[in-house]
Amino acid sequence: MENQAFLASRDSDLEFALHRSQYMRILSNDRADKLRAVTYLRQHVTASPHMMTKYETEINKLLAATLWTDRMEASPYKDVLTETRVHGELEGKLAQEFCAKLGMSKQLPLAVVGDIATGGALSRIEKGRRVMQQRKNGWSIADELPVSCTDRRDSCF
């Protein structure tokens, strides 16, 4: 895997999450072929000493859950193999690591702008507008702010 060193440097869980997802896919497609799922887990996860030590408890639960695939609702491992948990976590981790690799923020740019605006700037502008209304010095032009610009060569913005 060409990005394995990058993920290891970030102590990311993405690689394990991908293998767990594939394991789940094998189990859900053919519940009778549990051996194929266990073989996949052995080849890709337990063969890695790093993953084996870091995820030993989770791996043991995944292996034990194969015994309950026919009656998953009664299984003590039903939380381990729920599709929502497995694939829901995978989506978030994939987005996080992809953005980190590209040096981008995980948040959408519009959401960041909205957070910044609602966090301070818009509330201060609104407070200034209210103060001006109370003083009966309302703004006469829509582009006008109650601040002075000292340098006339540049606009205030």
For the chain, give every domain's residue range.
4-102, 107-140
Distance separating alpha carbons of residues 24 and 128, to the nearest angstrom: 57
Distance separating alpha carbons of residues 131 and 151, to the nearest angstrom: 25
State yes or no: pLDDT of 17 exceeds 80: yes
- State pLDDT tens for residues 42-84: 898 888 888 888 999 888 888 887 877 777 677 777 777 666 6
**Residue in this structure with the two tokens 């006339």, named with its chain if needed:** 152
CA angle in degrees (0–180, nearest 5) for 135-141-144? 75
- State pLDDT tens for residues 92-121: 888 888 888 888 776 666 676 676 666 666
